[in-house]
Structures are given as structure tokens and as C-alpha cells.
Amino acid sequence: MSLRAGASLGAPQKEPAFWVPVSIHGRDDGREVRYPHFAWDRAKPGLIAVNRAGERFVNEASSYHEFVRAMPRPAAPEGSRTAFLICDSKFMRKWGLGLARPAGWPRRHLLRSGYLVKGDTLEGLARSIGVDAGGLVRTVERMNRFASSGNDDDFGKGASAYNRHLGDPLHSPNPCVGELRRAPFFAVQVHPGDIGTTIGVQTDIHARAVNHTGEPIAGLYAVGNDMHSIMAGEYPGPGITLGPAVTFGWIAARHLATAPV
């Protein structure tokens, strides 16, 4: 509608959306539950994210936007990006994984639907989820060594204040890096999801939509997802979607209130 009124879209940004890894549980009644892995499980010690080769590809404690950006790209164009979050039973008891809550909460329905996959060994778990078993075992052994030293030499999990804030303050030497040793082991598959779009209607400092020469279109404003994001496709931190949305909403309302009728 805004384009028909003469508005122009902003240029492509580094990313078309603000991303978050999402796991999907198919309920018995046919409905889907989608769980965004924002901040709870990924940064905790004893969780790794792997690709189909069983290799880590990212600092699991980085922001959800960066996590998805690092997710492996499919070989075929029609394929989708996918990854697996893996933990052991000690982690599961303490933190839970996605929709699977910590100890005491029922999780049989999640195992039945295939949302949560359990394996008595790492090799068995890898086979169940279609991940290279040797690769996963090597990755876990390497991560277990990092847990003793406290240094994730591969991706720096726990190196930043942002990582550590989301880790386990009672776990040392690195609040974000722990061992995966105690069977059974668990996996949840994650897919790219989004929390909003970055590309939208071009606006001026009053949040007025502008045409392709930058002239404002009388009476047409855009904020929130509809407004071309001022973040250039980057995700410096939580709030960079709602913050500008309410700010420019306020600016637009002030401008409207003073506009000639």
C-alpha cells in the first residue's frame, strides 16, 4: 500500500531480518510450538551446537542474530539451514534444553514427537539425528578439554561479558564452558527464525515515508517493522527493534499533532 502511495523501500541491508534460532515441536493435536532460543540454554556450560559433520560452527553464547548468521548454509539452494544443540543429562537436569524443562518436568511428549532426541551414547545420538558420529565424539572430547582449561580455543565461548552474563556464575573456570560426559545425551534441532525485518519503507527524521527522491509523502508515516531499520542489518543488542519502534512512533505522533489539518 505504501509503495502504491509513492513510498520507496530502503536498500538491502547486511541481513534482511533479525534472526533467532528456533526449535519446532509438533503437538499431538497437530499444532506447532516454536521455541526461540534467545538467552536461556545456549550460553550455559555443557551445551554445544554442531552441524551435520558433528563440528561446532559458532560461539554458542553469541547473540541469536550472530548464531543464525553462522549456521551452515545448505549445499542445495532449496535446502534449509539447520543445526543441533547437544547436551548431557547433567546439563538437562540443571538447565533443560529448549522446550524441555529442567529435572522434574515431563518431557516424554517431546521425545515422542521427535523434538527432543535421546541417546545412551554420543554415537547413538549422532546416528539418530543424522550427524557424523566420529565428528561429534571428537568435538565433545575437544570441548571437554576446553572445560578444564576454561578457554574455548575455537570460538571463544565465555570470552565476552555478554557471554558470561548469560552463563552460570557458579561454574568455573569459564561460566559458559562445561563438560558433556554423563549419559544419556540429548539433542534438539534448530532452524533460522526471525524476530523482525530490517528492510522497509524509507523515512525522514519525522518518520514520514519518502519517495525515491527523498520527498516526504503527506500523511504517510512508517515505524517498527515497516520502517527501514536504522541498524543496517546488524544486531548490537536486545531492544534495537522495539527501541526505535517506540521512539519513532513518538516522533511520528508529535509530528502528526503539529501538522496542518
17 belongs to the binding site for ligand FAD (CB under 6 A)? no
246 belongs to the binding site for ligand FAD (CB under 6 A)? no
Residue choice 230, 242, 256, 259 for contact with ligand FAD (CB under 6 A): 242
113 belongs to the binding site for ligand FAD (CB under 6 A)? no
10 belongs to the binding site for ligand FAD (CB under 6 A)? no
Nearest CA to 128 out of 48, 191, 45, 184 is that of 184
68 belongs to the binding site for ligand FAD (CB under 6 A)? no
Between residues 119 and 193, which has the closer beta carbon with respect to ligand FAD?
Answer: 193
Residue choice 89, 224, 233, 234 for contact with ligand FAD (CB under 6 A): 224
245 belongs to the binding site for ligand FAD (CB under 6 A)? yes
Between residues 156 and 196, which has the closer beta carbon with respect to ligand FAD?
Answer: 196
By CB under 6 A, the residues from 21 to 40 that bind ligand FAD are 36
Beta bridge partners of residue 32, listed in sequence order: 26
Coil vs helix vs strand at 192:
strand
User: Sign of the CA dihedral 130, 135, 139, 140?
Assistant: positive
Query: Phi and psi dihedrals of 83, rounded to 5?
Result: -155, 170
122 belongs to the binding site for ligand FAD (CB under 6 A)? no
Q: Cell 522446550 identifies what position?
A: 99
- Cell numbers representing residue 231 in the block: 541498524
Q: How many CB atoms lie within 10 A of CB 40?
A: 14
16 belongs to the binding site for ligand FAD (CB under 6 A)? no
Between residues 184 and 238, which has the closer beta carbon with respect to ligand FAD?
Answer: 238
Between residues 26 and 243, which has the closer beta carbon with respect to ligand FAD?
Answer: 243
241 belongs to the binding site for ligand FAD (CB under 6 A)? yes
Burial classification of residue 239, based on how many CB atoms lie within 10 Å of its CB (0-12 exposed, 13-18 middle, 19 or more buried)? exposed
Using CA atoms, how far apart are residues 83 and 42, in angstroms rounded to an integer?
Answer: 12
* Of 39-47, 99-107, 115-123, 224-232: span binding ligand FAD (CB under 6 A): 224-232
Beta bridge partners of residue 193, listed in sequence order: 20
Q: How many CB atoms lie within 10 A of CB 123?
A: 14
Q: How far is the CB of 30 from ligand FAD (least distance, A)?
A: 22
By CB under 6 A, the residues from 69 to 98 that bind ligand FAD are none
Q: How many CB atoms lie within 10 A of CB 105?
A: 10
Quote the DSSP letter at residue 194.
Answer: E
Q: Which residues bind ligand FAD (CB under 6 A)?
A: 36, 195-196, 224-226, 238-239, 241-243, 245
